[in-house]
A and B are shown apart, each in its own frame.
Chain A
Amino acid sequence: MAVTRADSSSQPRGDSDALLSPDFLRRLERLRILSRRTFVGRQRGERRSPRRGASVEFADFRNYVPGDDPRYLDWNACARLSRLFLKLFVEEEDLYVTVLLDTSESMAFGDPSKARCAKQAAAAVSYIALCSLDRLFVYGFAPRLGEHLGPLRGRGCAARFLDWLGGLPAGGGTDFAGALKAFALRAAKPGVAVVISDFLAPDYQTGLKALMQRRFDVTAIQVLAPEEIAPDLAGDLRLVDCETGEPREISVTRGLLRSYHERLSAFQGEFRRFCLRYGINALSLTAADSFEDLVLRALWRRRLVT
Chain B
Amino acid sequence: MHFLVPMMLLWALPVVAAIVALYLFRLRRQDRRISSLMLWGQALREMQANAPFRRLRFNWLMVLQILAAIALVLALARPFRTVPGVSGRCVAVVIDASASMRATDVRPSRFDRAKAEAARLIDGLGRGDDMCLVVAGAPTRVAAPLTSDKSVLRAALGSVIATDCPARADEAVRLALSLIRGRTGGRVVVLSDGGFPELSAAGDVSTISFVRIGESDDNVGIMALDTRPGPDGRPLLLASVRNFSRVKRDCDLELRADDKLVDVQQFSLPARQEVSRVFSAPRGAARIAARLDIEDALAADNEAHLLLGAAKQASGVLLTRGNLFLQKALAIDPGISFVRSAAPEALSLRPSDVYVLDRLCPDKLPPRAGLMFVGVANAQAPVEVLGTVDKPQVTGWDRDHPITCWVDFSDLNIERAQKVALRDWGKPLVYARDTPLVVAGERDGARAIYVAWDLIDSDFVLRVGFPIFIGNCMRWLAGDSAGVSMANLRTGEVLALSPGIERGSVDVVLPGGDRTALPVRDAMATLRLERVGVYAAQAGKYRAVAAANLLDARESDIAPRDALVIGGKQVASVGQRPRRTEEYWRWAVLAVLGLFTLEWLAYHRRI
- Chain A residues within 8 Å of B, Cβ to Cβ: 106-107, 109-110, 114, 198, 200-202, 225, 227-228, 231, 233-244, 246-254, 256-257, 259-260, 263-264, 267
Q: Which residues of B contact A256 (CB under 8 A)?
A: 43, 47
- Closest 8 pairs between A and B when the two form their complex, measured CB to CB: A259-B43, A109-B35, A106-B35, A200-B36, A263-B41, A238-B29, A250-B47, A241-B37
A169 to chain B, nearest CB (A): 17
Q: Judge whether B36 and A106 touch: CB under 8 Å.
A: yes
B59 at the interface (CB under 8 A from A): yes
Indicate whether B603 reaches chain A with its CB closer than 8 angstroms.
yes
Docked-complex contact B36 and A241, CB < 8 angstroms: yes
Known A248-B48, A263-B40, A264-B39; further 19 A-B contacts with Cβ < 8 A = A114-B35, A200-B38, A200-B39, A202-B38, A228-B34, A228-B35, A233-B32, A236-B30, A241-B36, A247-B31, A248-B40, A251-B47, A251-B59, A253-B606, A253-B607, A254-B607, A259-B41, A260-B41, A263-B42
Cα(A240)–Cα(B48), bound, Å: 13
Q: How far is the CA of A237 from the CA of B30 in the complex (A)?
A: 5
Contact (Cβ within 8 A) A201 B38: yes
CA distance A228 to B39 in the complex (A): 9
Which of B33, B41, B48, B604 touches A250 (beta carbons < 8 Å)? B48
Judging by beta carbons under 8 Å apart, are B30 and A235 in contact? yes
20 contacts between A and B (CB under 8 A): A107-B35, A109-B33, A200-B36, A201-B38, A228-B35, A231-B34, A234-B603, A238-B30, A238-B32, A240-B34, A241-B34, A243-B35, A248-B40, A248-B47, A250-B40, A251-B47, A253-B59, A254-B606, A263-B41, A264-B39
A246 to chain B, nearest CB (A): 6
* Inter-chain contacts of A254 with B (CB < 8 A): 605-607
CA distance A198 to B40 in the complex (A): 15
Q: Does B44 contact A (CB under 8 A)?
A: yes
Does B107 interact with chain A (Cβ within 8 Å)? no
List residues of chain B with CB within 8 A of the CB of A237.
Answer: 29-32
Which one, A235, A242, A251, A253, contacts B34 given CB within 8 A? A242
Q: Which of B31, B606, B607 contacts A240 (CB 8 A)?
A: B31
> What's the nearest-Cβ distance from chain A to residue B29, in Å?
4
Q: How far is it, in angstroms, between the C-alpha of A233 and the C-alpha of B30 when the chains are bound?
A: 11
- The main secondary structure of chain A at its interface with chain B is mixed
**Residue B433 is within 8 A (CB to CB) of chain A in the complex:** no
The reply to whether A263 and B43 form a contact with Cβ atoms under 8 Å apart is yes
CB < 8 Å: which of A243, A249, A257 contacts B29? A249
Q: Do the beta carbons of A239 and B40 come within 8 Å of each other? A: yes
**B interface with A by C-beta (< 8 Å):** 26, 29-44, 46-48, 55, 59-61, 603-607
How many Å lie between the Cα of A3 and that of B59 in the bound state? Answer: 61
B38 contacts across to A, CB distance below 8 A: 200-202, 267
B-side contacts of A235, CB under 8 Å: 30, 603
B35 contacts A240, C-beta separation under 8 Å:
no
Cα(A15)–Cα(B38), bound, Å: 36
Establish whether residues A234 and B606, one from each chain, have CB atoms under 8 Å apart when the complex forms: yes
Chain A contacts of B41 at CB under 8 A? Answer: 259-260, 263
CB neighbours of A252 from chain B (8 A): 606
In whole Å, how far is B186's beta carbon from the nearest beta carbon of chain A?
55
List the B side residues contacting A225 at CB < 8 Å.
35
Q: Chain B's nearest CB lies how many Å from the CB of A204? A: 10
Whether A259 touches B33, Cβ cut-off 8 Å, given contacts A235-B603, A248-B48, A251-B59, is no
A243→B37 CA distance, assembly (Å): 10
Question: Across the interface, which residues of B come within 8 angstroms of A260, CB to CB?
Answer: 39-41, 43
Chain A residues, Cβ within 8 Å of B35: 106-107, 109-110, 114, 198, 200, 225, 228, 241-243
Q: How far is the CB of A248 from chain B (nearest CB, A)?
A: 5
Closest to A232 in B: B32
Residues of B contacting A257 in the complex (Cβ-Cβ under 8 angstroms): 606
**Using Cβ atoms and an 8 Å threshold, which residues of chain A touch B606?**
234, 252-254, 257
CB distance from B45 to the nearest CB of A (A): 9
A33 to B513, CA, bound (A): 125
Contacts of A249 in B (CB 8 A): 29, 47-48, 55
Q: Give the distance to chain B from A239, nearest Cβ to Cβ, in Å.
A: 5
Say yes or no: B39 contacts A236, CB within 8 Å.
Answer: no
Which residue of B39, B47, B603, B605 contacts A263 across the interface (Cβ within 8 Å)? B39
A198 CA to B35 CA, complexed, in Å: 9
Min distance, Cβ A149 to any Cβ of chain B, angstroms: 26
B48: A residues at CB distance < 8 A: 248-250
CA gap between A107 and B604 in the complex, in Å = 30
Minimum CB–CB distance from B606 to chain A (whole Å) comes to 5
Bound CA–CA A254/B607 (angstroms):
5
How long is the Cα–Cα vector from A263 to B47 in the complex, in angstroms? 15
Bound-state Cα–Cα, A113 to B48, Å: 28
Q: Given the complex of chains A and B, what is the CA–CA distance between A225 and B34 in angstroms?
A: 10
Within the complex, the shortest CB–CB distance from A109 to chain B, in Å, comes to 4
Question: In the bound complex, how far is the Cα of B34 from the Cα of A107, in angstroms?
Answer: 10
State the CA gap A267–B61 with chains docked (Å).
30
A248 touches B44 (CB 8 A): yes
Shortest distance from the beta carbon of B40 to any chain A beta carbon, whole Å = 6
On chain A, the residues within 8 Å of B47 by CB distance are 248-251, 256
* CB–CB A239/B39 < 8 A: no
| A114 contact set on B, CB distance < 8 A | 35
Instruction: Given A234-B606, A253-B607, verify A109-B34 contact (CB < 8 Å).
Output: yes
Would you give the shortest CB distance from B32 to chain A, in whole angstroms? 5
A259 to B41, CA, bound (A): 9
In the assembled complex, the Cα of A264 lies from the Cα of B44 at a distance in Å of 13
Q: How far is the CA of A246 from the CA of B38 in the complex (A)?
A: 11
Bound CA span A110–B38, Å: 16
A residues in contact with B33, CB < 8 Å: 109, 239-242
Within 8 Å by CB of A236, from B29, B46, B60, lies B29
Which residue of chain A has the shortest Cβ distance to B43 in the bound complex? A259
- List the A side residues contacting B31 at CB < 8 Å: 237-238, 240, 247
- The interface residues of chain A lying within 8 Å CB-to-CB of B60 are 253
CA distance A15 to B229 in the complex (A): 144
- Min CB distance A143 to B, Å, is 15
C-alpha spacing A201/B38, complex, angstroms = 7
Which residues of A lie under 8 Å from residue B40 when comparing CB positions?
A: 239, 248, 250, 260, 263
Interfacial chain A residues near B44, Cβ < 8 Å: 239, 248, 250
From B36, B46, B605, name the one whose CB has the most chain A CB atoms within 10 angstroms: B36
Instruction: Kindly report which residue of chain A lies nearest to residue B55, judged by CB atoms.
Output: A249
Cβ of A248 and Cβ of B37 under 8 Å apart? yes
Which chain B residues lie closer than 8 Å to A202 at the CB level? 38
Residues on the A chain within 8 Å of B42, using CB = 259, 263
A164 to chain B, nearest CB (A): 25
Roughly how many angstroms separate A202 CA and B30 CA in the complex, as a whole number? 27
Q: Which residue of B lies closest to A114 (CB)?
A: B35
Q: A248-B48, A253-B606 are in contact. Are A239 and B43 (CB under 8 A)?
A: no
Q: Which residues of A contact B37 (CB under 8 A)?
A: 239, 241, 244, 246, 248
> Which residues of the partner chain A approach B30 to less than 8 Å between Cβ atoms?
235-238
Q: Report A201 CB to chain B, min CB distance, Å.
A: 7
Roughly how many angstroms separate A190 CA and B524 CA in the complex, as a whole number? 140
